[in-house]
Structure 1
Protein backbone atom coordinates (compact mmCIF):
# COMPACT_ATOMS: atom_id res chain seq x y z
CA UNK A 1 0.00 0.00 0.00
CA UNK A 2 2.79 2.41 0.98
CA UNK A 3 4.74 1.59 -2.22
CA UNK A 4 1.66 2.39 -4.33
CA UNK A 5 1.23 5.78 -2.69
CA UNK A 6 4.93 6.54 -3.12
CA UNK A 7 4.69 5.79 -6.86
CA UNK A 8 1.63 7.98 -7.12
CA UNK A 9 3.36 10.88 -5.35
CA UNK A 10 6.44 10.52 -7.58
CA UNK A 11 4.38 10.30 -10.78
CA UNK A 12 2.17 13.29 -9.99
CA UNK A 13 4.74 16.07 -10.82
CA UNK A 14 5.62 14.45 -14.15
CA UNK A 15 1.94 14.12 -15.02
CA UNK A 16 1.29 17.75 -14.17
CA UNK A 17 4.24 18.92 -16.30
CA UNK A 18 2.95 16.98 -19.31
CA UNK A 19 -0.56 18.31 -18.76
CA UNK A 20 0.60 21.93 -18.67
CA UNK A 21 2.29 21.65 -22.07
CA UNK A 22 5.86 21.74 -20.78
CA UNK A 23 8.35 20.94 -23.51
CA UNK A 24 12.13 21.25 -23.63
CA UNK A 25 13.40 24.06 -25.83
CA UNK A 26 14.32 22.88 -29.30
CA UNK A 27 16.62 24.41 -31.89
CA UNK A 28 15.01 27.18 -33.92
CA UNK A 29 13.60 25.90 -37.21
CA UNK A 30 14.71 28.09 -40.10
CA UNK A 31 12.25 28.74 -42.93
CA UNK A 32 15.03 29.55 -45.36
CA UNK A 33 17.13 27.19 -47.48
CA UNK A 34 20.17 29.31 -48.37
CA UNK A 35 21.88 31.98 -46.28
CA UNK A 36 25.03 34.04 -46.80
CA UNK A 37 27.17 35.31 -43.93
CA UNK A 38 29.08 38.50 -44.76
CA UNK A 39 31.09 41.16 -42.94
CA UNK A 40 32.83 38.84 -40.46
CA UNK A 41 36.55 38.78 -39.78
CA UNK A 42 38.11 35.51 -40.94
CA UNK A 43 38.94 34.30 -37.42
CA UNK A 44 35.69 35.41 -35.80
CA UNK A 45 34.52 32.94 -33.13
CA UNK A 46 30.98 34.23 -33.74
CA UNK A 47 31.22 33.24 -37.41
CA UNK A 48 32.41 29.74 -36.49
CA UNK A 49 29.55 29.26 -33.99
CA UNK A 50 26.94 30.59 -36.45
CA UNK A 51 28.24 28.21 -39.14
CA UNK A 52 27.96 25.34 -36.69
CA UNK A 53 24.40 26.23 -35.61
CA UNK A 54 23.13 26.90 -39.13
CA UNK A 55 24.73 23.62 -40.21
CA UNK A 56 22.51 21.82 -37.69
CA UNK A 57 19.42 23.11 -39.53
CA UNK A 58 18.15 22.32 -43.04
CA UNK A 59 19.59 25.63 -44.33
CA UNK A 60 22.95 25.75 -46.00
CA UNK A 61 25.49 28.54 -46.14
CA UNK A 62 26.32 29.85 -49.61
CA UNK A 63 29.18 32.08 -50.70
CA UNK A 64 27.46 33.64 -53.72
CA UNK A 65 25.17 36.42 -52.47
CA UNK A 66 22.85 36.10 -55.48
CA UNK A 67 22.10 32.45 -54.61
CA UNK A 68 21.18 33.33 -51.03
CA UNK A 69 17.60 33.87 -49.92
CA UNK A 70 18.83 35.83 -46.92
CA UNK A 71 22.04 37.66 -46.03
CA UNK A 72 23.18 37.99 -42.43
CA UNK A 73 25.56 40.94 -42.38
CA UNK A 74 27.86 41.46 -39.41
CA UNK A 75 28.32 45.15 -38.65
CA UNK A 76 30.30 44.88 -35.40
CA UNK A 77 31.80 41.84 -33.66
CA UNK A 78 34.06 42.44 -30.70
CA UNK A 79 35.05 41.07 -27.31
CA UNK A 80 36.70 43.21 -24.68
CA UNK A 81 37.21 43.52 -20.96
CA UNK A 82 37.57 46.42 -18.57
CA UNK A 83 38.64 46.75 -14.98
CA UNK A 84 35.72 47.12 -12.58
CA UNK A 85 37.60 47.05 -9.29
CA UNK A 86 41.23 47.26 -8.26
CA UNK A 87 43.21 47.58 -5.05
CA UNK A 88 45.01 50.72 -3.90
CA UNK A 89 48.20 49.07 -5.19
CA UNK A 90 46.70 48.83 -8.67
CA UNK A 91 46.04 45.09 -8.67
CA UNK A 92 42.92 44.09 -10.57
CA UNK A 93 40.23 42.43 -8.46
CA UNK A 94 37.29 42.34 -10.87
CA UNK A 95 36.85 42.41 -14.65
CA UNK A 96 33.82 43.08 -16.78
CA UNK A 97 33.79 40.91 -19.91
CA UNK A 98 31.78 42.21 -22.85
CA UNK A 99 30.66 40.69 -26.09
CA UNK A 100 29.17 43.04 -28.68
CA UNK A 101 27.61 41.85 -31.90
CA UNK A 102 25.64 44.02 -34.31
CA UNK A 103 24.01 42.53 -37.39
CA UNK A 104 21.27 43.06 -39.91
CA UNK A 105 19.28 40.79 -42.19
CA UNK A 106 18.62 41.67 -45.81
CA UNK A 107 17.75 40.10 -49.13
CA UNK A 108 20.28 39.85 -51.99
CA UNK A 109 18.32 42.68 -53.64
CA UNK A 110 19.09 44.95 -50.68
CA UNK A 111 15.67 44.92 -49.00
CA UNK A 112 16.13 45.27 -45.25
CA UNK A 113 14.28 42.53 -43.36
CA UNK A 114 15.69 43.28 -39.91
CA UNK A 115 17.39 46.60 -39.22
CA UNK A 116 20.68 46.79 -37.39
CA UNK A 117 20.25 44.79 -34.19
CA UNK A 118 22.66 45.24 -31.29
CA UNK A 119 23.45 42.37 -28.95
CA UNK A 120 25.36 43.36 -25.81
CA UNK A 121 26.27 40.71 -23.26
CA UNK A 122 28.33 41.29 -20.12
CA UNK A 123 29.67 39.12 -17.32
CA UNK A 124 31.49 40.10 -14.16
CA UNK A 125 34.52 38.06 -13.13
CA UNK A 126 36.55 38.39 -9.95
CA UNK A 127 40.30 38.02 -10.32
CA UNK A 128 43.30 37.11 -8.24
CA UNK A 129 46.90 36.82 -9.41
CA UNK A 130 47.45 33.61 -7.44
CA UNK A 131 44.93 31.79 -9.64
CA UNK A 132 45.82 33.46 -12.95
CA UNK A 133 45.70 30.27 -15.06
CA UNK A 134 42.34 29.21 -13.64
CA UNK A 135 40.95 32.72 -14.15
CA UNK A 136 42.15 32.67 -17.76
CA UNK A 137 40.20 29.45 -18.31
CA UNK A 138 37.17 30.93 -16.53
CA UNK A 139 37.35 33.96 -18.82
CA UNK A 140 37.40 31.74 -21.91
CA UNK A 141 34.41 29.77 -20.58
CA UNK A 142 32.46 32.97 -19.89
CA UNK A 143 33.14 34.25 -23.41
CA UNK A 144 31.99 30.90 -24.87
CA UNK A 145 28.78 31.08 -22.82
CA UNK A 146 28.09 34.67 -23.94
CA UNK A 147 28.77 33.69 -27.55
CA UNK A 148 26.36 30.75 -27.30
CA UNK A 149 23.71 33.09 -25.88
CA UNK A 150 24.26 35.59 -28.70
CA UNK A 151 24.12 32.90 -31.40
CA UNK A 152 20.89 31.51 -29.90
CA UNK A 153 19.38 35.00 -30.14
CA UNK A 154 20.52 35.35 -33.76
CA UNK A 155 19.05 31.93 -34.59
CA UNK A 156 15.70 32.99 -33.09
CA UNK A 157 15.77 36.13 -35.30
CA UNK A 158 16.56 33.97 -38.33
CA UNK A 159 13.69 31.62 -37.51
CA UNK A 160 11.25 34.52 -37.19
CA UNK A 161 12.18 36.34 -40.40
CA UNK A 162 9.59 36.39 -43.17
CA UNK A 163 10.96 36.54 -46.69
CA UNK A 164 9.16 38.76 -49.21
CA UNK A 165 7.10 36.83 -51.76
Structure 2
Protein backbone atom coordinates (compact mmCIF):
# COMPACT_ATOMS: atom_id res chain seq x y z
CA UNK A 1 0.00 0.00 0.00
CA UNK A 2 3.01 2.30 0.06
CA UNK A 3 2.60 2.93 -3.68
CA UNK A 4 -0.67 4.85 -3.18
CA UNK A 5 1.06 8.04 -1.95
CA UNK A 6 3.61 7.68 -4.72
CA UNK A 7 0.89 7.27 -7.33
CA UNK A 8 -0.98 10.30 -6.00
CA UNK A 9 2.21 12.35 -6.09
CA UNK A 10 2.97 11.30 -9.66
CA UNK A 11 -0.59 11.95 -10.80
CA UNK A 12 -0.52 15.35 -9.10
CA UNK A 13 2.75 16.17 -10.83
CA UNK A 14 1.46 15.12 -14.25
CA UNK A 15 -1.76 17.10 -13.77
CA UNK A 16 0.23 20.20 -12.81
CA UNK A 17 2.31 20.24 -16.04
CA UNK A 18 1.09 23.19 -18.06
CA UNK A 19 -0.21 22.40 -21.53
CA UNK A 20 2.30 24.82 -23.02
CA UNK A 21 5.09 22.62 -21.64
CA UNK A 22 3.66 19.61 -23.45
CA UNK A 23 3.31 21.58 -26.68
CA UNK A 24 6.97 22.57 -26.50
CA UNK A 25 7.97 18.92 -26.83
CA UNK A 26 5.73 18.43 -29.87
CA UNK A 27 2.69 16.97 -28.13
CA UNK A 28 -0.57 18.54 -29.21
CA UNK A 29 -4.14 17.64 -28.45
CA UNK A 30 -6.34 16.78 -31.41
CA UNK A 31 -8.60 19.53 -32.52
CA UNK A 32 -8.28 22.84 -34.29
CA UNK A 33 -5.39 23.59 -36.61
CA UNK A 34 -4.43 27.25 -36.60
CA UNK A 35 -4.01 28.21 -40.26
CA UNK A 36 -3.18 31.81 -41.22
CA UNK A 37 -5.29 31.50 -44.40
CA UNK A 38 -8.94 32.31 -44.94
CA UNK A 39 -9.51 30.17 -48.05
CA UNK A 40 -7.74 27.04 -49.31
CA UNK A 41 -8.08 25.42 -52.72
CA UNK A 42 -7.30 21.74 -53.22
CA UNK A 43 -5.84 20.98 -56.64
CA UNK A 44 -3.96 18.11 -58.23
CA UNK A 45 -5.10 14.50 -58.30
CA UNK A 46 -6.42 13.44 -54.91
CA UNK A 47 -8.73 10.46 -54.80
CA UNK A 48 -12.34 11.47 -54.05
CA UNK A 49 -12.17 10.04 -50.49
CA UNK A 50 -8.92 11.92 -49.75
CA UNK A 51 -10.35 15.17 -51.17
CA UNK A 52 -13.45 14.75 -48.99
CA UNK A 53 -11.32 14.09 -45.89
CA UNK A 54 -9.10 17.12 -46.51
CA UNK A 55 -12.14 19.33 -47.11
CA UNK A 56 -13.77 18.01 -43.93
CA UNK A 57 -10.56 18.64 -41.96
CA UNK A 58 -10.39 22.20 -43.26
CA UNK A 59 -14.06 22.94 -42.57
CA UNK A 60 -14.24 21.24 -39.17
CA UNK A 61 -10.74 21.78 -37.83
CA UNK A 62 -9.79 25.28 -39.01
CA UNK A 63 -11.24 28.72 -39.44
CA UNK A 64 -10.55 28.54 -43.19
CA UNK A 65 -12.98 27.82 -46.00
CA UNK A 66 -12.53 25.58 -49.03
CA UNK A 67 -12.30 27.60 -52.23
CA UNK A 68 -13.74 26.08 -55.38
CA UNK A 69 -11.57 28.22 -57.65
CA UNK A 70 -7.85 28.56 -56.93
CA UNK A 71 -8.08 32.28 -57.85
CA UNK A 72 -10.25 32.82 -54.77
CA UNK A 73 -7.83 31.01 -52.42
CA UNK A 74 -5.02 32.38 -50.29
CA UNK A 75 -3.36 28.95 -50.28
CA UNK A 76 -3.29 26.30 -52.97
CA UNK A 77 -2.76 22.77 -51.68
CA UNK A 78 -1.73 20.58 -54.60
CA UNK A 79 -1.95 16.83 -54.13
CA UNK A 80 0.67 15.38 -56.47
CA UNK A 81 -0.02 11.71 -55.77
CA UNK A 82 -2.26 9.55 -53.63
CA UNK A 83 -1.34 5.87 -53.52
CA UNK A 84 -2.97 3.17 -51.41
CA UNK A 85 -1.31 -0.20 -51.09
CA UNK A 86 -1.36 -3.48 -49.27
CA UNK A 87 1.52 -5.87 -48.77
CA UNK A 88 1.61 -9.30 -47.21
CA UNK A 89 3.09 -9.19 -43.76
CA UNK A 90 2.88 -12.79 -42.52
CA UNK A 91 1.94 -16.34 -43.49
CA UNK A 92 0.85 -19.26 -41.34
CA UNK A 93 2.39 -22.76 -41.49
CA UNK A 94 -0.02 -23.74 -44.30
CA UNK A 95 1.18 -20.85 -46.45
CA UNK A 96 -1.98 -18.79 -46.02
CA UNK A 97 -1.81 -15.04 -45.47
CA UNK A 98 -2.41 -14.08 -41.84
CA UNK A 99 -1.53 -10.37 -41.83
CA UNK A 100 -1.33 -7.43 -44.19
CA UNK A 101 0.31 -4.03 -43.95
CA UNK A 102 -1.88 -1.26 -45.33
CA UNK A 103 -0.09 1.85 -46.51
CA UNK A 104 -1.02 5.23 -47.91
CA UNK A 105 1.46 7.59 -49.52
CA UNK A 106 0.36 11.16 -50.28
CA UNK A 107 2.56 13.64 -52.10
CA UNK A 108 1.71 17.31 -51.86
CA UNK A 109 2.99 20.84 -52.05
CA UNK A 110 1.52 24.16 -51.00
CA UNK A 111 1.94 27.68 -52.29
CA UNK A 112 0.17 30.99 -51.81
CA UNK A 113 -1.84 32.84 -54.43
CA UNK A 114 1.23 34.79 -55.55
CA UNK A 115 3.08 31.54 -56.30
CA UNK A 116 5.43 31.67 -53.30
CA UNK A 117 6.16 28.15 -52.12
CA UNK A 118 4.98 27.42 -48.58
CA UNK A 119 5.82 23.71 -48.68
CA UNK A 120 8.00 22.20 -51.43
CA UNK A 121 7.18 18.77 -52.84
CA UNK A 122 6.66 16.64 -49.74
CA UNK A 123 5.31 13.25 -48.91
CA UNK A 124 3.49 11.68 -46.00
CA UNK A 125 3.51 7.93 -45.59
CA UNK A 126 1.38 5.98 -43.14
CA UNK A 127 1.15 2.25 -42.46
CA UNK A 128 -1.14 0.09 -40.41
CA UNK A 129 -0.85 -3.63 -39.76
CA UNK A 130 -3.97 -5.74 -40.01
CA UNK A 131 -4.62 -9.39 -39.14
CA UNK A 132 -6.34 -11.50 -41.79
CA UNK A 133 -8.37 -14.69 -41.60
CA UNK A 134 -9.72 -16.69 -44.53
CA UNK A 135 -12.84 -17.51 -42.52
CA UNK A 136 -13.87 -13.86 -42.16
CA UNK A 137 -12.99 -12.38 -45.55
CA UNK A 138 -16.00 -10.03 -45.75
CA UNK A 139 -15.46 -8.69 -42.25
CA UNK A 140 -11.78 -8.21 -43.03
CA UNK A 141 -12.64 -6.20 -46.15
CA UNK A 142 -14.89 -3.94 -44.11
CA UNK A 143 -12.19 -3.57 -41.47
CA UNK A 144 -9.63 -2.73 -44.16
CA UNK A 145 -11.87 0.04 -45.53
CA UNK A 146 -12.36 1.42 -42.02
CA UNK A 147 -8.59 1.42 -41.41
CA UNK A 148 -7.96 3.20 -44.73
CA UNK A 149 -10.63 5.77 -43.91
CA UNK A 150 -9.09 6.51 -40.51
CA UNK A 151 -5.63 6.68 -42.05
CA UNK A 152 -6.82 9.20 -44.67
CA UNK A 153 -8.41 11.36 -41.96
CA UNK A 154 -5.18 11.32 -39.96
CA UNK A 155 -3.16 12.17 -43.07
CA UNK A 156 -5.40 15.11 -43.91
CA UNK A 157 -4.91 16.58 -40.44
CA UNK A 158 -1.15 15.98 -40.64
CA UNK A 159 -1.02 17.81 -43.98
CA UNK A 160 -2.85 20.79 -42.46
CA UNK A 161 -0.51 20.78 -39.44
CA UNK A 162 2.51 20.83 -41.78
CA UNK A 163 1.00 23.72 -43.73
CA UNK A 164 0.36 25.58 -40.49
CA UNK A 165 3.91 25.05 -39.23
CA UNK A 166 5.47 25.99 -42.57
CA UNK A 167 3.33 29.10 -42.95
CA UNK A 168 4.34 30.35 -39.50
CA UNK A 169 8.06 29.58 -39.92
CA UNK A 170 10.19 32.62 -40.75
CA UNK A 171 11.23 32.64 -44.38
CA UNK A 172 14.79 33.40 -45.35
CA UNK A 173 15.57 35.23 -48.52
CA UNK A 174 18.22 33.83 -50.78
CA UNK A 175 20.42 36.33 -52.57
1:19 alignment partner in structure 2: 16
2:147 alignment partner in structure 1: 142
Name the SS for the 2:115 alignment partner: coil
Quick one: distance in 2 between partners of 1:135 and 1:64? 39
Alignment of 1:54-133 (within 5 A): 54-56=58-60, 57-86=62-91, 91-133=96-138
Quick one: distance in 1 between partners of 2:112 and 2:125? 25
1:28 aligns with 2:33: yes
Evaluate the alpha carbon distance shift between residue 55 and residue 35 of structure 1 in structure 2; reply closer, same or farther with a 3 A threshold. same
1:37 alignment partner in structure 2: 42
Name the SS for the 2:167 alignment partner: coil
Name the SS for the 1:49 alignment partner: helix
| Deviation, structure 1 residue 136 | 1.6
- Which whole-Å deviations, capped at 9, do the CAs of 1:29-74 have from their partners, x for residues lacking one? 1111011100134x52111111111002210111222221110000
TM-score by length of 2: 0.76
Quick one: distance in 2 between partners of 1:62 and 1:18? 41
Quick one: distance in 2 between partners of 1:128 and 1:40? 34
- Which whole-Å deviations, capped at 9, do the CAs of 1:134-165 have from their partners, x for residues lacking one? 2122212221232222122112112223288x
- CA RMSD in angstroms, aligned pairs only: 2.7
Which of the pair has more CA radius of gyration? 1
Quick one: distance in 1 between partners of 2:153 and 2:68? 24
Q: Structure 2, unaligned stretches of length 5 or more?
A: 21-27
**Aligned residue pair count:** 157
TM-score by length of 1: 0.80
Quick one: distance in 1 between partners of 2:154 and 2:75? 22
Quick one: distance in 1 between partners of 2:92 and 2:12? 54
| Deviation, structure 1 residue 17 | 3.6
